[in-house]
A and B are shown apart, each in its own frame.
Chain A
Amino acid sequence: MSRTWRTADVVEARFETATARTLALQFPEPVSSIGGQHVDIRLTAPDGYTAVRSYSVAGTLPPTGLEITVEELEDGEVSPYLVRDLTVGDQVEMRGPVGGWFVWQPSDTSPVQLIGGGSGVVPLMAMVRSHRAAGSTAPMQLLYSVRGPSSIIYRGELEKLEASSPPLPVEYVYTREAPAGEPVGRLSPATLMPRILPPEADPAVFICGATGFVEAVAAWLVDAGYTEGRIKTERYGGTGDGS
């Protein structure tokens, strides 16, 4: 099934930040996704030219829909169209969802630490939503590194989840601009460790962000004694990453 292209109707489009937009897609048949999976989106120009990009699924709209959140990449070929031009009522083609590694299964009752940088929060949000939908009792918390408050994707929903019962603990790290009283600066082992589940909890760790972020965080966790085999990583953005 995942190899075939199917047509989706764009039924909702909403900006999460100035540069990230969530698209709700509806299909003629049921679609399901495990938190953390991605889909391929294909656009076809009037002359038949096509372009394909992979995007993380942000959440499901059972039984026949799902959402993706797209961050506009400067100089991108596909993302500016998805963020700026596509409108409700348009159609796109999708293949997937795919991926069996960077996924959180609701049947897993062990503690989960999610660590996202920028739009790397998208597949982690799919895990959070799946956790909620399943009524999972697995301890789950999120550490989210952002440039500033205006860059927080899913801000309203995360605030509600923090205030809900049981709450989803969310820690923010502000790299460029912070609300009053909050520190500004890149993530470091000293700022990271006190804000995540400790190694003794042996959490499943999911890290998603730019390559430098993912590489650094994964290495710190290994140094701090987290189980290497419990750390799963994913890097976003096919281009614009000079490493």
Chain B
Amino acid sequence: MGIISSGFRGRRNKDQPGLPPGQYLTESFPVLSAGPTPRIDTAEWEFQLTTEAGQKHSWSWDDFQNLPQEEFTVDIHCVTSWSKFGTRWKGVSMDTFFQDVDTSHPYTMFSSYGGYTTNLPMEDILNGKAWIVHQFDGEDLQPAHGGPARLLVPHLYFWKSAKWVRGLRMMDRNDPGFWETNGYNLHGDPWLEERYW
């Protein structure tokens, strides 16, 4: 046990099931990003998946909207210690994007409009673990929260859920992305408190 602050009581909402270690619950939806919010016109939006063979799979905004849509409710956990329960999203599972993709590489690097990148192992994005989402709480996703579309990987810290996502490429090594080269953990499991290097 650490240093005791005798006058400190706290809220002790941590006893709640579903709250990872070191996290606290918030009702609001804080915004975190590293630079200006990019302006993205859905008429020009494109999501592109590039394999190790250089093969490119592309989806326009209309293509994306015509893929099978899933609506789901998940908890999200930010490395800055807030967690938000029961967030409601609509989007397309990564499994759907990978349906006709021929790859054997075990890692991916997602990239965003604005230049942000984040690395993710395949095992963290397939089998219903990740989505490209375009609605939050029944509304179109706001630009500040990553709209028109963001990656959502709710079982990892929220920096992995890249805003303004524009594509991914396959990697044979687990190279670090943006925050992962700026002090944050290569993987980011909130239950293991994989916050920093």
Contacts and interface: CB of A to CB of B under 8 A. Distances in A.
A228 B10 contact: no
A2 B7 CA distance: 27
B38 to A, nearest CB: 8
A41 to B, nearest CB: 10
Interface residues of B, number: 44
Interface in A27-55: 40, 42-46, 48-54
B37 A215 contact: yes
A52 to B, nearest CB: 5
A44 B7 contact: no
A233 B5 contact: no
B30 interface: yes
Contact of A49 (B14, B27, B34): B14
A89 interface: no
A231 B35 contact: yes
B12 to A, nearest CB: 5
A194 interface: no
Interface string B114-146: 110000000000000000000000000010100
A100 B8 CA distance: 31
A92 B4 CA distance: 8
- Interface residues of B: mostly helix, strand, loop or mixed? loop
Contact of A44 (B5, B33, B144, B182): B5
B45 interface: no
Contact of B28 (A44, A98, A232, A239): A239
A11 B69 CA distance: 56
A183 B3 CA distance: 48
Contacts of B8: 43-45, 51, 81, 85
A102 B182 CA distance: 9
B5 A45 contact: yes
Contacts of A235: 30-33
A238 B2 contact: no
Interface string A187-215: 00000000000000000000000010001
A218 interface: yes
A77 B196 CA distance: 23
Interface of B: 1-12, 14, 22, 24, 26-38, 78, 80-82, 114-115, 142, 144, 178-179, 181-183, 195-197
Given A2-B197, A52-B81, A242-B28, 9 more contacts: A43-B8, A52-B22, A78-B10, A92-B3, A215-B31, A235-B31, A235-B32, A238-B24, A238-B80
